[in-house]
Amino acid sequence: MKYLFTAVGYTDPVRDYYDGAILHIIRHYKVEKVFLFFTATTWEEEEQSHMYTEGIKSVNPYCKIEKIPTDIEEPQKYEKLTVIQKEFEKLYSADENRDVEWLLNITSGTQQITTAISFLALDYANTRTVQVDTPKKQTNSKTAHRTRENYKTMLEKNKDSLEGAENRCRDNPIRFIQSHSLTTKIKSALDSYNYEGALKLLQENEIFEPGVQMGVKLLLEHAIDRLNMRWIDAMRTLDKALIYVNKDIESKLQEYRAFFPEEGTVSRENEPEFEASEYYQLLKLRARRNEMTELIIRLSPVLMKIGTAYLEKIGVNIKEYGDNDNKNIFCIKREKLERIDKGRFLEWLDDKHKNHGRFRDESPYSFQNILDICRYHKNNERADRGIGKVVKEFQRLRDLESAVRNKLAHDIWAMGDMSEKESENKLYKVNEKDKTLIICAELVMNSLETVWKVAYSKKSLYTYDDLNECIKGFLK
């Protein structure tokens, strides 16, 4: 459905035996409904002569008309025109207008009115501006005005009704302004890693060149697939986006693509590190977006992946410590622990758990198991030289994980800062007044980065910023 929102001007409905802008748009765009915005003067004319509605019916007798009268007497003053946006907002947000494509007439009315209507195209999706040239493609100040007496004659002898008459409409002449506005909004969404919001903006405003529109759309879909850990889909979408890449960002996008394995060639040997990296990068993104709940929920999977990688680095084969149970969950088993270091590790574990009797058989593999194994190996004379530092960080992270689990059901935590003394052994503190858990996100991320570097012998990646630069490159 096409609806027209327009002010009523002095060249409407006709002038010098030609359409005014309103009639010309209705004639050439198959408008189903028109909303006429009147100032005090044009409303008086309509009430006395009905020239505007009669003019519309002369071009399209089936076009529905809705009138918006106002008491504006100084339409040359911008401060008097805020009602334009308010009236359009009511129409735009109405449920019955949800699927409407809005045409905005930026010819009729004072210069200030047409400017105000132009701004609507920057703030509302599914809007197109239309400008109508004069018949002589120049100012029409010297052409004959219509009057209340002669407008009917001008309508009857309207030259634009003749076969072969020129279409003087210019479609969306401020597209470049809309494009700039949309680009700014999308970039702002990218800066906060709001890929869903950016995609919604893009889909609601299809004003870029087709190749740019598709390239940006695919990269945003790729980002959303990554956020949801659909890595195969993410890689496929990324490869499709490469088809639309321009020369300015081709090398940058290829560099970003190199962070990902080729589809179908992810080996068992490389997959754990890639998966751990993706989990960790997602945790970083949640921290940057201040999404506290998501940050806390995703902490345990990251700890498990980093911890397991570190065990492998120091020569621990975790499969020697347990097996999958009947539900295919990997569990630590006492019978296997009896073979570790001639049973001394199991003795050490039993002593550690003596308050609960002994170490429980078939315990699901957890970060606490990783910490216990590292603590035991720390006392081994052949232990990794950096294991002491790792154990300290693992302990701080494990304490946080345990504290969060105790609070999780009640959602009692908050982000905050901690003093150097407070953070020496803990990544959180407890507010004594209300027992709220205060978590310092920066400390958590620094602790994770420390153990990541040791486990994988390199810095962690954060490629979402690289992705954002590629998307922004499309939009230049």
Lowest-pLDDT range, 231-245, 293-307, 369-383?
369-383
pLDDT at 410: 43
pLDDT at 382: 54
- Burial of 252 per CB tally in 10 Å (0-12, 13-18, 19+): middle
What's the mean per-residue pLDDT of the chain? 86
CB 301 within 8 A of CB 401: no
pLDDT by residue (tens digit) across 294-350? 777 788 999 999 999 999 999 899 999 999 988 899 999 999 999 998 889 999 999
Distance of alpha carbon 129 from alpha carbon 106, whole angstroms = 6
Helices vs. strands in the chain: H and E counts, helices first: 20, 14
The per-residue DSSP string of 3-34 comes to: EEEEE--TT-SEETTEE-HHHHHHHHHT-SEE
Lowest-pLDDT range, 3-17, 31-45, 221-235, 270-284?
270-284
Phi, psi of 269 (to 5 degrees): -70, -40
Sign of CA dihedral 204, 200, 183, 469: negative
CA end-to-end span of the chain, whole Å? Answer: 33
For residue 465, give the DSSP letter: H
Which structure tokens are listed for 12?
A: 């409407």
Which one-letter amino acid corresponds to residue 449?
Answer: E
From 78, 1, 73, 64, select the one nearest 36 (Cα to Cα): 64
pLDDT by residue (tens digit) across 163-177? 888 999 988 777 888
pLDDT at 267: 42
The per-residue DSSP string of 50-91 comes to: -HHHHHHHHH-TT-EEEEE----S-TT-GGG-HHHHHHHHHH
Which structure tokens are listed for 346?
A: 């199991």
pLDDT by residue (tens digit) across 126-160? 888 999 998 876 565 555 566 667 888 888 888 98
Chain-centroid distance of CA 403 in Å reads 32
